[in-house]
């Protein structure tokens, strides 16, 4: 009796503690989460969120571009996402004459909406559990390569069958480290146009200083529109395309949020690793994160300096800087969070009980699992550090990364027999894409990056992984990489767009020698050789072994805790996270409220610091307290935090209330909770959302773009 009370109490504590953790597959909400969601206040059903039979909320959620989420908010395909998700589109439409980064962009009429070549959005038509079909073809005694081949073949078959006679796409994806498989049928639209973006002084207010932080005042949104052919189906860009009529779009609620309110986030979280061993966490904390943070600190110093020095450089490097700075800051938060939570020690304690359980069950395979993982990670560490330095430091020098991409030209040009057509095509492709690269390239800035990065590479990376060309440069200039850099950037084709383009025009085999003698190309190839000859194979082999061990460890954990609700790690597939609006205790004696307002923008305003400039128009609206329908208690809400479990890729995700109405757009996590990709702390992990009332205020009052507000469905 006593024991069972204790046990159920324990289970209760555990399920309460893990209440808001999880990124759930929409197809299992009914089975796994609906009662819990309703208990937390949800007033709609799992079927409203995801249905195969009728239109449902999933029909208004898209994968936006490569790695963000967006939501449809009108019956004319209007799409809302983050400013930082639309950032590279805003940046590439910007010039010194039309500086949309600085002043914002608003299509006041539909014909002013700007085409965005290369941008696409993907809807999910349906999701199917195909685990049984795939696992049915696999036997436990199969070799790994046979297993892989069987999965690949079977996936291909299922994908083909799923989309026969349709314009859809399909892919089968592994879940739970390759223990389960799900089929996604998708519909991708390629004509997506830019509709509106606030100036960076709103959309990126607070910049990198406030990034990953709460309290936050960033108006992080931008608007796009999905266009379709006259038949409402996806079509390549054409003037004749029309706004897409969606199967569902989100109504927008002006009711706002109170602490304790149910919220859910519907989107495409990118990658988490919740079930890894302590050894994996150790590798992240002791090898990868420190190396990557140090390298990016050095790169950012140089890029930030350059961006401050001129408007031209500021525009050229804006998107690159934002993406380098973003992960750089997150890794630092993650380090702190994992340290504070004692994640390694907690995982070790779990591993101890895991080993005891395995012994008790006499499962030989499981008994050795963790020890094997430990050994693999010990072996991996030196390789993984060198690989980080190649990717982050050496290829952080843009000229080297760009030069490396010319390798294909070399192999085509020296092929025997020579396929002249293929070679000329490749030269032409390189010529046509070179403009894109040089548009945002500054040789002086890149040379400074070269000097810093080569120095770091040379001092930090084990001599066994020093490429011969780097050793040559080091010796020739007696360790003075500045002198080496001057030589390289004055001699190389790649430092000068005109020289490079002249080289590519009328390319022939005879010109190959010039490429092979180019000092930047030589260094890039030498780096590539080190990677290929000394790193790729051994690290690849270890990672392949680890993948198998992790797959087994995952099932083992599920067997060990049969009553626990497991959710699969994020893998850029559609998920639902749910929780409630709530503040948190950030540090000793520091409690943060759930919501920020425009008062905070004015408090942070600092005309002397670019990140904290406030646009004049916003100040005027503030002074006249002209907040329209969007005010609450006489002020204007900006952002709020809630306990939804989110990660990178969830940016731009719709944040919904208990009725499935849009109340915000997810755009970040709080600093104290950035370790949630590995270890979720219900006390501190909060997602940050832009309050939709601020979004509407900016569109309506600040930009005066009423036509957009009019096409939305607003619930008062
Ligand atoms: N931290 C957010 C995310 O992970 C937003 C980043 C954009 N802002 C910036 N200042 N870099 O994507
Ligand atoms: N800003 C992130 C993104 O681009 C979301 C923040 C997070 O990692 O949770 O997806």
- Is the distance from CB of 480 to CB of 429 less than 8 angstroms? no
Closest residue CA from atom 3 of ligand 1: 668
DSSP code for 581 = B
pLDDT of the residue at 66: 84
Rounded to whole angstroms, the Cα distance separating 275 from 287 reads 19
Q: Which of the residues 48, 220, 442, 518 is marked catalytic?
A: 220
Q: Which of 651, 653, 676, 689 is catalytic?
A: 651
677 close to ligand 1 (CB < 6 Angstrom): no
Say which ligand is closest to the CA of 646: 2
Please tell me the number of the ligand nearest to residue 83's CA.
1
> Which residue ranges of the chain lie beneath pLDDT 70?
1-19
Note the pLDDT of residue 20.
87
Any catalytic annotation for residue 84?
yes
Structure tokens at 576: 């639902």
> In whole angstroms, what is the distance from residue 648 CA to residue 668 CA?
8
Task: Give the model confidence (pLDDT) of 438-452 as tens digits.
Answer: 999 999 999 999 999
SS3 percent helix, strand, coil of the chain, rounded to 5, is 55, 15, 30
Ligand 2 atom at shortest distance from the alpha carbon of 687: 9
Which residues are paired to 123 by β-bridges? Answer: 62, 187
Q: Are 466 and 535 in contact (CB under 8 A)?
A: no
Give residue for tokens 């430990």: 374
Centre of ligand 2 from the C-alpha of residue 270, in Å: 9
Tell me how far apart the alpha carbons of residues 202 and 478 are, in angstroms, rounded to a whole number: 49
User: What is the rounded average pLDDT for all residues in the chain?
Assistant: 96
Cα of 326 from ligand 1 centre, angstroms: 5
Q: Strand runs (DSSP E) across 496-566, as ranges?
A: none
Q: Which ligand is nearest to the CA of 322?
A: 1
- For residue 382, give every residue at least 6 positions away whose Cβ sits within 8 Å of its Cβ, in sequence order, or none: 462
What's the length of the chain? 716
Bridge-based pairing state of the strands 714-715 and 252-253: parallel
Q: Buried b vs exposed e over 238-250: b needs ≥16 C-beta within 10 Å? A: eeebbbbebebbb
| Ligand 1 atom closest to Cα of residue 668 | 2
**Atom 7 of ligand 1: nearest residue by CA position:** 84
**β-bridge pairing 180-189 and 169-175:** antiparallel
Cβ-based burial of 677 (10 A; exposed 0-12, middle 13-18, buried ≥19):
buried
Please choose from 266, 651, 664, 665 the residue to mutate so as to test ligand 2's pocket, defined by most ligand atoms within 8 A of CB.
Answer: 651
668 CB near ligand 1 (under 6 Å): yes
From the number of C-beta atoms within 10 Å of its C-beta (0-12, 13-18, 19+), residue 277 rates as buried
Residue 206 Cβ inside 6 Å of ligand 1? The answer reads no
Ligand 2 test: best mutation among 646, 665, 680, most atoms within 8 Å of CB? 646
pLDDT at 1: 41
Determine the distance separating the centroid of ligand 1 and the alpha carbon of 399, expressed in angstroms. 25
Q: Active site includes 167?
A: no
CA-closest residue to ligand 1 atom 5: 668
Q: Which residues of 481-520 are buried (b: 16+ CB within 10 A; e: fewer)?
A: beebbeebbeebbbbbbeebeebbeebeeeebeebeebbb
Residues lining ligand 2, CB < 6 A? 68, 646-651, 667-669
Q: Is 93 among the residues known to form the active site?
A: no
pLDDT of 12 reads: 46
The atom of ligand 1 lying closest to the CA of 651 is: 12
- For 112-150, the DSSP string reads GPEE-TT--EEEEEEEEE-HHHHHTT--TTS-HHHHHHH
Contacts of 610 (CB under 8 A, 6+ apart): 207
pLDDT tens-digit readout, 623-669: 999 999 999 999 999 999 999 999 999 999 999 999 999 999 999 99
């Amino acid at each position: 009796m006593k024991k069972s009370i204790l046990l159920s109490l324990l289970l209760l504590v555990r399920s309460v503690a893990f209440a808001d953790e999880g990124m759930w597959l929409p197809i299992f909400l009914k089975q796994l989460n609906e009662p819990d969601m309703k208990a937390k206040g949800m007033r709609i059903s799992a079927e409203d969120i995801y249905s195969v039979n009728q239109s449902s909320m999933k029909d208004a959620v898209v994968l936006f571009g490569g790695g963000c989420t967006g939501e449809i908010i009108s019956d004319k395909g209007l799409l809302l996402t983050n400013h930082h998700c639309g950032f590279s589109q805003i940046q590439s439409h910007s010039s010194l004459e039309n500086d949309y980064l600085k002043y914002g962009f608003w299509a006041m009429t539909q014909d002013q909406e700007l085409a965005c070549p290369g941008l696409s959005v993907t809807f999910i038509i349906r999701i199917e559990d195909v685990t049984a079909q795939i696992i049915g073809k696999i036997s436990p005694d199969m070799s790994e390569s046979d297993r892989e081949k069987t999965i690949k073949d079977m996936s291909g078959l299922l994908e083909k069958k799923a989309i026969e006679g349709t314009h859809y796409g399909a892919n089968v994806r592994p879940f739970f480290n390759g223990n389960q498989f799900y089929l996604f049928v998708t519909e991708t639209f390629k004509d997506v146009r830019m509709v509106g973006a606030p100036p960076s002084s709103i959309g990126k207010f607070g910049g990198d200083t406030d990034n990953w932080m709460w309290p936050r005042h960033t108006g992080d949104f931008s608007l796009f529109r999905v266009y379709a052919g006259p038949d409402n189906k996806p079509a390549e860009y054409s003037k004749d395309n029309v706004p897409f009529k969606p199967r569902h779009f989100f109504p927008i609620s002006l009711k706002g949020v109170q602490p304790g309110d149910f919220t859910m986030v519907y989107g495409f979280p990118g990658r988490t690793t919740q079930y890894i061993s302590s050894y994996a966490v150790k590798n992240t904390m002791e090898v990868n994160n420190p190396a990557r943070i140090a390298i990016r600190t050095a790169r950012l110093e140089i890029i930030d300096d350059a961006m401050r020095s001129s408007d031209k450089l500021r525009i050229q490097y804006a998107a690159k800087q934002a993406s380098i700075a973003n992960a750089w800051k997150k890794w630092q938060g993650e380090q702190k969070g994992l340290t504070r939570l004692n994640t390694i020690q907690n995982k070790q304690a779990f591993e101890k009980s895991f080993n005891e359980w395995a012994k008790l069950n006499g499962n030989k395979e499981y008994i050795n699992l963790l020890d094997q993982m430990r050994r693999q990670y010990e072996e991996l560490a030196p390789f993984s550090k060198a690989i980080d330095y190649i990717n982050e430091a050496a290829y952080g020098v843009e000229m080297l990364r760009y030069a490396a991409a010319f390798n294909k030209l070399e192999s085509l040009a020296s092929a025997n027999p020579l396929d002249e057509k293929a070679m000329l095509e490749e030269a032409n492709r390189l010529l046509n894409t070179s403009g894109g690269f040089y548009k945002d390239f500054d040789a002086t800035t890149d040379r400074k990056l070269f000097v810093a990065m080569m120095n770091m590479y040379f001092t930090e990376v084990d001599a066994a992984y020093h490429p011969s060309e780097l050793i040559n440069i080091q010796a020739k200039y007696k360790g003075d990489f500045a002198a080496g850099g001057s030589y390289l950037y004055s001699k190389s084709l790649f430092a000068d767009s005109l020289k490079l383009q002249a080289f590519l025009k009328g390319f022939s085999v005879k010109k190959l020698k010039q490429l092979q003698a180019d000092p930047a190309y030589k260094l890039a190839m030498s780096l590539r050789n080190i990677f290929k000859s000394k790193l790729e194979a051994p690290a690849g082999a270890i990672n392949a072994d680890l993948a198998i061990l992790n797959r087994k460890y995952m099932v083992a954990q599920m067997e060990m805790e049969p009553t626990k609700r497991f959710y699969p790690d994020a893998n850029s597939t559609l998920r639902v996270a749910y929780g409630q609006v709530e503040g948190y205790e950030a540090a000793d004696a520091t409690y943060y409220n759930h919501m920020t307002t425009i008062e905070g923008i004015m408090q942070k305003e600092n005309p002397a610091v670019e990140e904290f400039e406030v646009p004049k128009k916003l100040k005027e609206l503030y002074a006249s307290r002209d907040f329209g329908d969007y005010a609450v208690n006489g002020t204007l809400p900006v952002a709020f935090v809630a306990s939804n479990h989110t990660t990178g890729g969830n940016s731009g995700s719709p944040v919904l209330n208990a009725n499935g109405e849009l109340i915000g757009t997810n755009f970040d996590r709080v600093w104290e909770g950035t370790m949630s990709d590995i270890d979720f702390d219900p006390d501190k992990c909060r997602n940050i959302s832009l309050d939709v009332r601020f979004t509407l205020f900016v569109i309506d009052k600040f930009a005066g773009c009423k036509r957009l507000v009019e096409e939305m469905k607003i619930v008062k």
